[in-house]
Amino acid sequence: NAIGCKWIYKLKTGVDGKISHKARLVAQGFDQSPTDYDEVFAPSLKATTLRAALVWAARMKYKINHLDVETAYLHAPLQHTIYLKKPLEFTTDDKTDCWKLKKSLYGLKQSGYEWNQCIVNELTRLGFV
């Protein structure tokens, strides 16, 4: 079964005060069948653990770096076949009413898990883990 989707609209103000319009298409994961996913758990860091690590790094005079992967979930390949109902705003000549997703999408139950698997695999491949 194809799952639904919806648009999320947001106004963002830049550091220069300029307003920009953002839109994100998200899956309506509450429509997902349990056969569409196996795992949904994705680890997260506790704030106290982060603070302790930062204090330790500062005492050791370590240089601290961080990174942000924009639209992170959209980079993660899916392990299951998922079809998304095409938004009404999209009209094409092919007459299809749904899309087969190639990558994870915000709103899917397994998106956090899929992203974690993707980044762990990449960091391992690069020798960081």
Tokens of 54: 């930062």
Residue range(s) defining the domain that contains residue 60: 2-126
Residues making up the chain, counted from first to last: 129
Model confidence band, residue 122 (pLDDT cutoffs 50, 70, 90): very high
* Contact (Cβ atoms closer than 8 angstroms) between residue 29 and residue 109: yes
pLDDT, position 88:
83
pLDDT tens across 23-80, in order? 999 999 998 988 888 899 999 999 999 999 999 999 999 999 988 999 999 999 999 9
pLDDT tens across 71-106, in order? 999 999 999 999 999 988 887 777 788 999 999 999
Distance of CA 117 to the CA centre of its chain: 12
Residue 31 carries which side chain, given as an amino acid letter? Answer: D
18/62 Cα distance (integer angstroms) = 36
- Whether pTM exceeds 0.85: no
Tokens of 32: 């997902």
DSSP-assigned letter for residue 79: S
Domain count along the chain:
1
